[in-house]
Structures are given as structure tokens and as C-alpha cells.
Amino acid sequence: MEYGLIGEHLPHSFSPEIHKRIGDYKYEIKELRPEELEDFIKSRDFKGINVTIPYKQAVIPFLDEIDEAAKAIGAVNTIVNRNGKLFGYNTDFGGLRALFEHAGISVFGKKAVILGNGGTSHTAKAVLKALGAQTVLKTDIIPGEGVITNEEAVLRHSDAQILINTTPCGMFPKLSGMAANPADFPHLEGAIDVVYNPLKTDFVQRAQSLGVPSEGGLYMLVMQAILAAEHFFEKPVPKEKAESIFSEILRMKTNIVLIGMPASGKTTAGKILSEELKMPLFDSDELIIEKTGREISDIFEKKGEPAFRKIESEAVLELSGKTGVIIATGGGAILNPENMRNLSKNGRIYFIDRPVEKLVPTSDRPTASTAEAIKKRYEERYPLYKKYADIIIDADCSPAEVCRKIKEDFRK
């Protein structure tokens, strides 16, 4: 390969889409096992590569020259082959610094805690120091020189104002988990997660629920890619490209999630949107039928609603890990807060609010088989639909008009 990304596990990396928008060059993904790394680097059969977990430090002994900034950080994420000599750089520094600016988080004079002690944590420490942080602490499972445990961070440093996650906790495909809970730091003024897939990790969602300015790692990924391309081709990339590429990738990777009562038109709207926006459509009820081999009404009848809701949550979790798709949910998906947290990680949630008198009961909907049942469910669930929706769509209109309203918001 000429240009690309190496790492151990690279499922659904966003890097090729980003580099495609930076310039006219082919950018590939190559997964390497640890025992394959040395031979690959020594072969020098590439022009420029990015390096990710867990090789940012492991590649250093095989390089001919290392940029002073990368030396100071102790990690390399960009390697350029110039006439057979390998030069190492760290563009994560510039990417992370740009992310702080993009998130509007000031660290000057503040206490910061970095979660994790790998290569990216060294970059985070360098960035925090460069931005004027007064105190910088790092955590890990096992304490060591200059490293404390997460428990000690909570017990002795809960006054930290800045929290940065540099661990893979919450990263696709394992969408759940946090290295530390932002709620344990009551003086928090900013939270950054370098993880970009999902777009909003549990860590970011929790910080945002507390009203703390926070952001995931997508903007950092875009900026470090731009800086890497500048090293690849030894010419500057216009910085205004960063915001446009970020906005385009964010929109491209964001799911459209449709919630609402049974018979509100979620599936119909989903099909129209899928055709018009060229986005794949997934229906959680259809996935349940596919997985179980049973109709929804049969599951309710034979196993009961609690068993169905458990199956539904498993289906929702699977769909939540996808990016750039349309997800039509069952009417009761909003009953489980975990479902909504998962759907929000990569999704923008639209409540299709169809008037209750226009919701038609059908025998194949166990909780909406009569007009009375629909009205009862509507009254119970309406506050939850409003609570979890990013946008409420007035659906007292045609399906085409419903879709027009969704597209108008989604394309902003």
C-alpha cells in the first residue's frame, strides 16, 4: 500500500473517508498482528502511514528519525518514507489541541485527570501542559511512577476540572462502559473522549447530562488526518477544510432514529427516507422476528412482555452500533432508558408525533390492538417520547411531508 492506517483491530475505521476528502490519493486499512509489525515496518513498502493502537510506541525502534515533538511525547502516529528513510511524527498532538478549541474547553490554570496510560495519554499530557494546565494526573488500573488508580483519582482528586478519556472504554464494538464517571468529579468544567466511534460514548453522554461541555474524538481524528497528509505530501492543507470535512463525516455517520407510537408511520417514513437519502433502513421489530423466528405477537403471548423487552434491547444495541443508517424502532423501545442511551450514541432521534385519534389499532400489535389500548399507551408514553427526542416531528400530515421535515433538519 502507498498510504494507509495500521493497527491491530480496525473495525469500521473512519480514516479512509476522511483522507478521501483531503486529497486525491488512495488510503487503505491494514490490520497487523503484533508479530507482523516489525516485518511490515522494515519492508518500507509504503509512502506514508498512520499508526494507531497498540503500535504508537512499538514502531519507534524501527524509525530512522523522529520529530522532536514525537520524541517528547514518546509516541508516533505518522510515518513517512522518504527515499527509504523512515521519519516519525505525532499529529495526535495538533489534533487533540484542535479538539479542545473546537469543544470550547479552556484548561489554563486547571487541574486535569487523564484516564489511561498508553500512547495517547502521553499526547494528552503534552497538550494539557502546552495549554497551561496547572496540574496533570494520569490514571491506570495498576499505579506506577506518575500514575494513580481511578479510585485514587476519585477519592483524592475529585476537584479536577478537566477529564480526558484516552482508553478504549466504550469504543465500538463494545459500546458500553466508562473508565471513570464524570459524575464523580463535581467541579468538572470540561470532558474530552478521544474515542470517535461511537460518536457519543457513555462518557460523553454522562458529561453532557451533567451540563459539562464535552465532545468525542471525531474532530481530533479529522485534524490529525489533515496534519498527517501535510507530512505525506510536504505541503499545507487549507485549515478551513477541517470544519467542512468534520461536518460532512459527522452527518454521514449519524443515524436517523425514528421513535413514536405503533401505527405512527415510522416504517413508512423510514422506507421513503431510505430511498431518498440512500441510507440503509433497519427496523428493530423486523430484526427481532429475524433473530427469533417468531412474530412479535407470538413472543408476547408465549413469553410475555418482559421477555420481549429483553430481546428488543438486544436488537436495539446491535442496531445502535451501526453508522449512517435509518433505524425504525418499536413503539415501546423508549420504555428502557438504556435503549435510548444506545440509540443516541450514533443517532439523532426524531419523534413522529401523530395525533392519537389517527393511530389505527391492528391485531398484530400486542399493546395497540384496540383504540382503548392505543389511547392508554399514548398517555403513558408521550412524556417519554418528548424526553428522548432531539426533534419532534408534527405528523398530522402526509408521510411525504413528515419525511420532508426530517430531511430539512438532518441536512442542517
* Band of residue 151 on the pLDDT scale cut at 50, 70, 90: very high
Whether the predicted pLDDT of 368 surpasses 80:
no
- Annotated catalytic sites, by residue? 56
Range list of β-strands (E), 33-140: 48-51, 65-66, 78-82, 85-89, 111-115, 135-139
Mean pLDDT calculated for residue range 292-298: 92
pLDDT for the residue numbered 361:
75
Q: Which domains does the chain have, with CATH numbers?
A: 3-90+234-239 (3.40.50.10860), 94-216 (3.40.50.720), 254-410 (3.40.50.300)
Least confident of 143-147, 216-220, 271-275: 143-147
Is a pLDDT exceeding 90 seen at residue 25? yes
Q: pLDDT tens across 374-410, in order? A: 899 999 999 999 999 999 999 999 999 999 999 999 9
Of residues 180 and 119, which shows the higher confidence score?
A: 180
Q: What pLDDT is attached to residue 353?
A: 97
pLDDT score for 178: 95
The pLDDT of residue 364 is above 90: no
| 365 has a pLDDT exceeding 80 | no
User: Could you identify the residue written with the cell 421489530?
Assistant: 285
Residue 412's pLDDT is 80
Distance (Å, rounded) from C-alpha 388 to C-alpha 205?
Answer: 13
As a whole number of angstroms, the distance between CA 326 and CA 258 comes to 8
351 has a pLDDT exceeding 80: yes
- Grade residue 12 by pLDDT with cuts at 50, 70 and 90: confident
Residue-wise pLDDT for 44-83, tens only, equals 999 999 999 889 999 999 999 999 989 999 999 999 999 9
Given this model, what pLDDT does residue 142 score?
Answer: 85
Write out pLDDT tens, residues 73-86.
Answer: 999 999 999 999 99
Three cell numbers, residue 365: 400489535
Q: What is the mean pLDDT of residues 338-356?
A: 97
- Per-position DSSP letters for 304-349, written without gaps between them: -HHHHHHHHHHHHHHHHT--S-EEEPPTTGGGSHHHHHHHHHHEEE
The mean pLDDT value of the chain amounts to 94
Over range 171-193, report the average pLDDT. 96
Query: How many whole angstroms from its chain centre is CA 94?
Result: 20
> Over pLDDT 90: what percentage of the chain?
86
Enter the pTM of the model: 0.92
Residue-level pLDDT at 208: 97
Q: What is the CA radius of gyration of the chain?
A: 24
